[in-house]
Amino acid sequence: MVKRTKIKDLFLSDTTKDEVLIKGWVRTRRDSKDFSFVEINDGSCLKNIQVIANNNLNNYETDIKKLTTGSSVEVRGSLVESQGNQKYEIAAKELKVYGFADEDFPLQKKKHTDEYLRTIAHLRPRTNKYGAAFRVRSALAYAIHKFFQERGFNYVHTPIITGSDAEGAGEMFQVTTLDMQAPPKAAGKIDYKEDFFGKMAHLTVSGQLNGEMYAMGLGDIYTFGPTFRAENSNTARHAAEFWMIEPEMAFADINDDMDLAEDMVKYLVKYVMDNCAEDLELFAKFIDPALMDTLNTIVNNDFARITYTEAIEIMKKSGHKFEFAPEYGVDMQTEHERFLTENHFKKPVIVRDYPKEIKAFYMRVNEDNKTVAAMDVLVPRIGELIGGSQREERYDVLVQKIKAMGMDVEDYDWYLDSRKYGSVPHAGFGLGFERMMMLVTGITNIRDVIPFPRTPKSINF
Ligand code: 4AD
Ligand code: MG
């Protein structure tokens, strides 16, 4: 018995073959007088293989002529040179049906909008565009591990359920097993001592704080996992559940951090260009004609590096009409970020040294005592791709900051331990995996680069 071959490997073969076996889903069927052409896709690559099924096959009338788009089949036959525009096709000796697709299978020839396809997110991986996107997503995830492992970073699994707010922004989903209809009370308030963990628990917004602890033991680490944010921003760049990559380096400062971020972005873009060329071609053709230029610009240029103060000045002097006027001390809007990277520098920009009031408590206070050693990487079409910083390693300064931000020092006693026992300068960042996906594919909505998106008022599937 001949073993199954993936369609991708058939096209890579340098010879025809007497006997091959493929399995996949029917994309189209066309009948002529003596045979049918059946296009089959198995998800291993963008291309379909064309199968020629002759009317002398014993199930020609009963099965083959009834094949609908979406049906699943197995085909045994010879791999022969194609008369058409592809290298090979299969002359079928046998075609077995696993399952017919009902006539109402929604992914017929007709082109659908992304909005419609989101309503059938369970079926969209069977389209060319989403097949391509999710092959790229897999390659990109692999490239992330490859990048860090090649550099001696250890992969750390930080918890998903957490007892502390890593960003101090209060955008957390609560996790509880209490009966919401009749929660236990103490002194008029819900008594979380009765809850599963004996205190309030949430889904994590970031693995950073736990990651830092492991950097203090293992040196260089990275996390790569799901994170959750209950921010009610219904934008094309925000999801309530998204994946984040968070490296953390012991004995590193903000400059090491920016270098690592720039190296990583370039490495990932190059990896996808080298390994997903066929899928990227589809995006360049149908989604973003400037895609390859954008990617080449990223790979071939140094990222611009400026301070937040310089960024505000550049925008003020630009004469550009912003919806929100850029102002020192106010957090940057997406339109500001995009102006800097798309209009002004025309390449990725790293902005550093933000006012301390607008950034998280753990960032290291600079000499000026006004700014913190934060850095954001901004890229065309997306704006913020990465947010990172050198961490405040001085115990007293950190305690002061936690208090000043109205947070409870007791909640962070474990975190503060790292500043008491052999504290070292360290730095890290978070890369939004879906934003990276948007960058490399040209896809403009975050809902279309994550398999089953979760956004405000939407949790189907
Ligand atoms: O800038 P953020 O909030 O940084 C942190 O969470 C730090 N703890 C990272 C660190 O230093 N270890 O988030 C990091 C990145 C953002 O730059 C953005 O790309 C992405 O995560 N991100 C989101 N992506 C999708 N949907 C959301 N709601 C996101 N919020 C942040
Ligand atoms: Mg940020």
Residues contacting ligand 1 via CB (< 6 Å): 166-167, 206, 208, 229, 231, 238-239, 242, 244, 246, 384-389, 428-430, 432, 434-435, 446
pLDDT score at 167: 75
Domains parsed from the chain with CATH numbers: 7-99 (2.40.50.140), 124-169+205-448 (3.30.930.10)
Q: What average pLDDT does this structure show over 176-184?
A: 96
Q: What average pLDDT does this structure show over 248-275?
A: 98
Query: Could you tell me the distance, in angstroms and rounded to a whole number, from the CA of residue 433 to the centre of ligand 1?
Result: 9
Among 212, 244, 258, 377, which residue has the most ligand 1 atoms within 8 Å of its CB, making it the best to mutate? 244
Query: Could you tell me the distance, in angstroms and rounded to a whole number, from the CA of residue 383 to the centre of ligand 1?
Result: 12
Q: Give the span between the Cα atoms of 322 and 175, in whole angstroms.
A: 40
Residues near 48 by beta carbon (within 8 Å), at least 6 away in sequence: 7, 27, 39, 40, 41
Atom 14, ligand 1: residue with shortest CA distance: 430
pLDDT score at 211: 98
pLDDT in tens, 45-72: 999 999 999 999 999 999 999 999 999 9
Query: Could you tell me the distance, in angstroms and rounded to a whole number, from the CA of residue 302 to the centre of ligand 1?
Result: 23
Lowest mean pLDDT: which of 166-180, 225-239, 262-276? 166-180
The chain-wide mean pLDDT, for the chain, equals: 96
Per-residue confidence at 163, pLDDT binned at 50, 70, 90? confident
Q: Where is pLDDT greater, at 271 or 406?
A: 271
pLDDT in tens, 207-216: 999 999 999 9
Atom 23, ligand 1: residue with shortest CA distance: 432
pLDDT score at 70: 98
Atom 22, ligand 1: residue with shortest CA distance: 432
Query: Could you tell me the distance, in angstroms and rounded to a whole number, from the CA of residue 57 to the centre of ligand 2?
Result: 61
Atom of ligand 1 minimally distant from the CA of 436:
19
Atom 31, ligand 1: residue with shortest CA distance: 432
Are 451 and 460 in contact, with CB atoms under 8 Å apart? no
Per-residue confidence at 111, pLDDT binned at 50, 70, 90? confident
pLDDT in tens, 351-367: 999 999 999 999 999 99
Task: With a cut of 90, say whether residue 85 has pLDDT above it.
Answer: no
Q: Quick one: what percent of the chain has pLDDT higher than 90? A: 93
Q: What average pLDDT does this structure show over 326-343?
A: 96
The ligand with the least distance to the CA atom of 215 is 1
pTM for the model stands at 0.96
Query: Could you tell me the distance, in angstroms and rounded to a whole number, from the CA of residue 459 to the centre of ligand 2?
Result: 25
Q: What average pLDDT does this structure show over 405-423?
A: 94
Query: Could you tell me the distance, in angstroms and rounded to a whole number, from the CA of residue 237 to the centre of ligand 2?
Result: 12
